[in-house]
Structure 1
């Protein structure tokens, strides 16, 4: 293997321990274990510590040279004071002394600077050792970066994680025949044809994550993965596209079961999925959004209509307000039984929320993770949730509300839920920790018990964390 340093065999200490003794006098039994088991034990150690075991005895001198997992992290706390040169030479030495055994997991975290060819030599060495899991995090580039060609045709690779804040130059030959997990972070794609080729030659891929990536000047990208089960996209950064319109990303996944999106809708995501879609999680931020973002969010939600379990950030509701005409044309989620709202506090009398709740006719479980309140301008409780969402009249059985503190507005929210959901079986109220004393708790319980309920079978359950005992408490009213 080509390297830029002189490779030497590990130096032996002058005073060597007896092969059947160690500091505690216990290595006789450990030393009798088969080498396969000893290598397995060493695989749980950081690579630097595993190499250090060569000083234990003559038998241990080169055991580390065939450990299945290699972890090279220049940023770890133990290496903060180590010079970069020492780290680079250490990686060279370990890979040069290594025998021909298979590498199961290879982790590399370092600065590239002027050593791109050296870094690629290490990655190529891992590929030659039939690596199965590869985790690469590289920083401090100069211009484009090209990973070694052999990586993109590696037949043994099952998991690949790339974190590279640079423009990635892709090869013309790409075929990950056995890759099941692919995570790409902070990469900028520059070639439309090769980018599409990357996301089409993945016959075994089941999980794909694209976090913080930029589509650059690309206008349209197609991601077609036949066996994809899980897809996660995060793009909160404004794209550095010259046309300023972002990219249209078409995602074809006949077997997609779970989809996550978090971002500001600078790009348009079009999903072509089947009724196998079980779960979707959509998050955004209401600030810095536009009418265009609202239209793209509406299109995304329309494509997700077959989903069974939906998680929305409350900011999704607020973004849709930027294009009010969309609220009256929302898709119907006939398969959704579970809806979760999280993120920033939300007002129950928000018109956008009412329009969205109308779209879940078969909703059975509603979970609100953050505060749900009434706006300061709200005066008449009777006009809230009017017209009544269909699920309140038939299917809604369970509601959970967090951050309850006994405030009058929050009490009104509970009152509305109990009064209007006629099939309700349980309302779970999570008490906010405000240092409540017993008197306040008893008062809150009394207020809730006195509320009228449309469903005679409905239970009110209070939950809170007792910090004095560090236990979760629960009572049924």
Structure 2
């Protein structure tokens, strides 16, 4: 990139837009070095609206962290407060102050999308102060420790998308009046001593999946359209006795707020809902006893955590439900009848339910019981599709991209099967 033999800059005739395009392909530390060429390159670099400070080269972690800190300080010194659209950063643990420093700098540059990734396992970078920005729209944390008031976004009035992945969350609440979409996934860790609260009244989409600790409590979400909730390994809201009169004072069921329920009473406005759980998790079943009405629900997906009485309760309280998907894996263990048999057999009509998709390993007695329930509420066999499918009922989803497919060895291709 040096000048030619005649002393002329070989790039002088190229337009600025083309040179900015060239800069966009360079790693940030290489792009930074173009500043020594001349003032034009320096000005182009300063006006770049995207910064990416993640390293994937062969340096050791110590070398990466030192390099990261050096570049952060140099950027702040040379670039000034030129506006940013996107900034992605990744730290390497030995220079813990560099990542928060760069994040704070990005906010002063009115960044709209900020991605924070920490590679310092098992001691991730910690954030304990609130983010303040009138421009931040998208925020993603990965492998970071969030505590104190770090998840209070009251001072981010246009924040719409928040993603938390593989994070340790020890904050009392997630608060945002503007948030539209929230993803909590990748085995985030919640406290065991208290439930964090999610206060996001404008939320329209929620994914709460694969976390450890106590399930968060949900605030009022009147505009929520779609929700996916997965209560899987690590969730502490389970009861070994599966009953609300459990006398084991160490059992997680004693943290359940029996007076108001925990989740379903805050999901009653959704049009699309997916409820996934291991059978020992009690929250859905106990929430249903409080009779939530799903007045806007049109599509519903359940795996095999429910009992027949739970299914009847959901169908009764979902008056405009159109599509029902049931993922039935271990029906023998998970679909035992509880409650009043009279309540199960009492007829009612699901007037809008047009499609029922049942995915199961085989059609057994439990599946036949479900078919009988559907028949009782006016859903006949011609509306029901039954497929012998290899799937992981704890991972399948229409709303989120599956992390993996767990196909059992020796299986045949998925195909429709009959009922005998």
TM-score (norm 2): 0.68
CA contact (8 A) 1:341 1:368 kept: yes
Cα distance in 1 for partners of 2:155, 2:184 equals 19
Cα distance in 1 for partners of 2:272, 2:279 equals 16
Q: Does 1:339 align with 2:287?
A: no
CA contact (8 A) 2:308 2:370 kept: no
1:262-301 to 2 correspondences below 5 Å: 262=209, 263=211, 266=214, 269-274=217-222, 276-285=223-232, 288=236, 289=238, 290-295=252-257, 298-301=261-264
Partner of 1:422: 378
Cα distance in 2 for partners of 1:252, 1:90 equals 36
Q: Which has the higher contact order (CA 8 A, sep 6+)?
A: 2
Partner of 2:17: 36
C-alpha RMSD over aligned residues = 4.7
Q: Once the 2 structures are TM-superposed, how far is the Cα of residue 295 of structure 1 from its aligned partner?
A: 3.8
Partner of 1:136: 116
Within the candidate set 78, 89, 94, 1:108 is matched to 89
Partner of 1:304: 267
CA contact (8 A) 1:313 1:341 kept: yes
CA contact (8 A) 2:107 2:132 kept: no
Partner of 2:345: 387
C-alpha spacing 1:316/1:302, structure 2 compared with 1 (3 Å): farther
CA offsets 1:398-420 (integer angstroms, 9 cap, x no match): 01123x45554587468547744
Q: Once the 2 structures are TM-superposed, how far is the Cα of residue 337 of structure 1 from its aligned partner?
A: 1.7
5+ residue gaps, structure 2: 239-251, 391-409
Within the candidate set 153, 169, 173, 1:214 is matched to 169
Q: Tell which structure's C-alpha radius of gyration is larger.
A: 1
Partner of 2:291: 330
What secondary structure sits across from 2:189 in the alignment? coil
CA contact (8 A) 1:405 1:431 kept: yes
Partner of 2:181: 230
What secondary structure sits across from 2:208 in the alignment? strand
1:145-156 to 2 correspondences below 5 Å: none
Partner of 1:249: 197
Cα distance in 2 for partners of 1:110, 1:130 equals 21
C-alpha spacing 1:282/1:435, structure 2 compared with 1 (3 Å): closer
Cα distance in 2 for partners of 1:123, 1:329 equals 44
CA contact (8 A) 2:308 2:335 kept: no
CA contact (8 A) 2:274 2:302 kept: yes
What secondary structure sits across from 2:384 in the alignment? strand
Cα distance in 2 for partners of 1:352, 1:293 equals 22
CA contact (8 A) 1:294 1:322 kept: no
